[in-house]
Structure 1
Amino acid sequence: MKPFPCLPCFTTTKSNTKNKNHFTPIEQLCHRFSLAQLRAATNGFSPSLIVGGEGPCQVYKGHLKAQGPVAIKRFKTKSPAEEIEFRAEVRILCQLHHPNVVPLIGFCEHKKDRFIVYDYVSNGSLYNCLHGTNNNNNNVVPLSWKQRLHICIGVARGLHYIHFGTKIPVMHRAVKSSNILLDQNLEPKLADFGLCKKHPQEESRPKPPRVELRENLELSLEYIEPEYCITGRLSHKSDVYSFGVVMLEVLCRKEACFFTPGGDCVYLFKWAFDDERKGVLEKIVDPSLKGKIAPACWEVFFEMVQRCLASVEERPTMGEVELLLENALLLQETADAVAERENAPVLSVEKGVGATEQTWITLKGIGSDCVMAWFWMGEPVMQS
């Protein structure tokens, strides 16, 4: 199981809009728990209830009478600046309300100890669901392709919400499969436990003018856009890039950074886009999905991966990603329905003459008939 890092790392971008909650005490925005309440919820912070974390940061599964199962993060602040930062982040997190974002329940401050209380999400992380305990894929039942599409759509909705659906725009900055939690219905929820001590080689990196990166920020380099290594700047499009890596992870069922049998470290995006594999479904897809992805769906999905991993100015917004993924799911469901009715698994894609937004989908192998589906902005109309 991947460890939970230590602090939330949602970040707001600068805005001229006055937020009436900016100076509201956080006690008026979310519940402040006492240390005694959290002790009781975790049987005195019993080691047997630790579900994640490392070093001075621990995540406990607890139980509160009013809320039921909760996840409680415990860590220490080391300076007055970190104490101010903690309160600022709680203020942000408690105002995020979306089905695809893990809700913050409350917090606690006691001397140097800090606690954040979240809903407990029962099905673990997408990372564990894809890769299994200790990276042993045999320990988990592979997700179906449509389950994976639903998860990607949910994550896209959550990211679109924090980017554009809040009074103050928020960047996640730690989008990765271990920060995507799944509930009992496999509905994804964005979480972020993403700040630990940063890598020594990053100590001299200048702070960007528009994004305040903490001195202890640890980046998961396999998910970070290449531009950051040059500019030191992050933006909403950085989250889009990271999501593109997650989409590849979902498709290939390989970790974002994995080791070859020879011990070489390989980044997934480089592996998937080398000259031998780029765009060839059979060479990169999870073996459990072979023969189960409709070519039309694959075309849309892989194009979206490419766009997310493109240069900053060419990347889509998460709203665009969400819409196209929903269209990919529609294409898959249509192909599956026809194949189930008529035992016709073969599907090909043809673009209409002069067509841009629209696509003709030819579903073949249906006896003497040939069924055509005309898709316009994701709306299918079956024609004989």
Structure 2
Amino acid sequence: MVPFPCLPCFTTKSNTTNHFTPIEQLCHRFSLAQLQAATNGFNPSLFLGGEGPCQVYKAHLKAHGDVVIKRFKTRSPAGEIEFRAEVKILCQLHHPNIVPLIGFCEHKNDKFVVFNYVPNGSLYDCLHGTNNNNVLVPLSWKQRLHICIGVARGLHYIHFGTKIPIMHRAVTSSNILLDHNLVPKVADFGLCKKQPEGKGESRPKPPRVELRENLELSLEYLEPEYRITGRLSHKSDVYSFGVVMLEILCRKEACFSTPGRDCCEYLVKWAFDDERKGVPEKIVDPSLTGKIAPACWEMFIEIVQRCLASVEERPRMGEVEVVLENALLLQERADAVKELV
């Protein structure tokens, strides 16, 4: 087995000579037979999708109701690493904006992670109509602001609210799930990194981490500096979240095709080119036209631009969270005035 390099030894057996906690004491262990029964033998009709070394199925467990089972192709080193990272880290995270882990299964070469089923799918599904019904979920501007705030809170928590800072490294609209109340849950922690505790510092800085060669990331969400340095940091998550916020505002994919052009266009470049920069009507989702208060717009677009700036100029996620909360407050005040008028 390939160990996850930044985490303690992953073990499934109690060992009195080892001070590490057995994984069964951190979360529930399912048998392979239970998961096979819950998916009718991993019936193709229950397949929800998957990319890289993972396949995702919808399932039903008597004690938990509808769940999602993530199956790892662990014959590849990447699948083994992602499985161990996801279980070991998620079982120690507890936050309303982080997807909750139900349990895991490890049976020979078969490895699975079990989560609660999220009925509204991913943020990507809701924005771009790629859910099972292929129907766009109508999101108001305030709903979108609440989603942005929730994601910022979840990312701030993993950056600075845990004992050891974590870098997610795969912040995309596909990895943000929405529950029945549209509360966002940051998901897919298979590529994240933990930093060992520093010596002599009460709060060590998250390190810049070399990206392993077989790590698959969406280039449209990846900071430009990576192409030069080959390293990621917690500010890389901030950049990726800036792209997600722009995606929410424009309701365009982070990389999209335009009529008459053979190549895809990056949303960041498209939204801030000379023709559109500073002109809300040219980039905002048409369904939001006239519904965003000017003061809210200015605050929102400014924090998006700061998130997409160079590493040194990017804010921490805690500041992003506060700015978004203030933007929501400005929108609510403007709406209240409009109602009075």
Q: TM-score range by the shorter chain?
A: 0.7 to 0.9
**Structure 2 residue 70 is matched with structure 1 residue 73:** yes
Q: 1:194: Cα distance to partner?
A: 6.3
Partner Cα separation in structure 1 for residue 63 and residue 151 of structure 2: 28
Alignment of 1:296-335 (within 5 A): 296-335=295-334
Give the one of 214, 217, 224 matched to 1:216: 214
Partner Cα separation in structure 2 for residue 45 and residue 160 of structure 1: 36
Match of 1:115 in 2: 112
Deviations 1:43-66 (A, max 9, x none): 111111111115763211111111
Match of 1:349 in 2: none
Partner Cα separation in structure 2 for residue 148 and residue 51 of structure 1: 25
Deviations 1:82-136 (A, max 9, x none): 64663344211111111111111111111211101111111111111111138x9
Distance change in 2, residues 1:317/1:65 (3 Å): same
Distance change in 2, residues 1:45/1:302 (3 Å): same
Q: Would you say the 8 A contact 1:132–1:139 is kept in 2?
A: yes
Distance change in 2, residues 1:155/1:317 (3 Å): same
Match of 2:204 in 1: none
Match of 1:160 in 2: 156
Deviations 1:138-159 (A, max 9, x none): 9314311111101000000110
Match of 1:259 in 2: 257
Q: Would you say the 8 A contact 1:194–1:218 is kept in 2?
A: no
> Matched residue of 1:108: which SS?
strand
Partner Cα separation in structure 2 for residue 56 and residue 328 of structure 1: 39
Q: Which structure has the greater CA radius of gyration?
A: 1
Give the one of 238, 241, 246 matched to 1:240: 238
Match of 1:170 in 2: 166
Q: 1:80: Cα distance to partner?
A: 7.3
Distance change in 2, residues 1:232/1:307 (3 Å): same
Distance change in 2, residues 1:55/1:173 (3 Å): closer
Q: 1:72: Cα distance to partner?
A: 0.3
Distance change in 2, residues 1:145/1:48 (3 Å): same
Distance change in 2, residues 1:275/1:298 (3 Å): same
Q: Would you say the 8 A contact 2:83–2:112 is kept in 1?
A: no
Match of 1:249 in 2: 247
Match of 2:177 in 1: 181
Match of 2:13 in 1: none
Partner Cα separation in structure 1 for residue 229 and residue 59 of structure 2: 41
Distance change in 2, residues 1:323/1:99 (3 Å): same
List gaps (5 residues or longer) in structure 2.
8-17, 192-206
Q: Would you say the 8 A contact 1:293–1:332 is kept in 2?
A: yes
Match of 1:96 in 2: 93
Q: Which protein is richer in strand relative to its size? A: 1
Partner Cα separation in structure 1 for residue 19 and residue 280 of structure 2: 49
Instruction: State the TM-score, normalized to the length of structure 1.
Output: 0.76
> Matched residue of 1:167: which SS?
coil
Partner Cα separation in structure 2 for residue 153 and residue 172 of structure 1: 17
Match of 1:294 in 2: 293
Q: 1:240: Cα distance to partner?
A: 0.3
> Matched residue of 2:45: which SS?
helix
List gaps (5 residues or longer) in structure 1.
1-8, 13-20, 196-208, 343-384
Q: Would you say the 8 A contact 1:105–1:118 is kept in 2?
A: yes
**Structure 2 residue 139 is matched with structure 1 residue 140:** no
> Matched residue of 1:302: which SS?
helix
Q: 1:282: Cα distance to partner?
A: 1.0
Which residue type is aligned with residue 32 of structure 1?
R
Residue correspondences, number: 311
Instruction: Quote the RMSD (CA, aligned, Å).
Output: 2.4
> Matched residue of 1:306: which SS?
helix
Partner Cα separation in structure 2 for residue 259 and residue 81 of structure 1: 30
Match of 2:34 in 1: 37
Partner Cα separation in structure 2 for residue 306 and residue 56 of structure 1: 33
Distance change in 2, residues 1:329/1:43 (3 Å): same
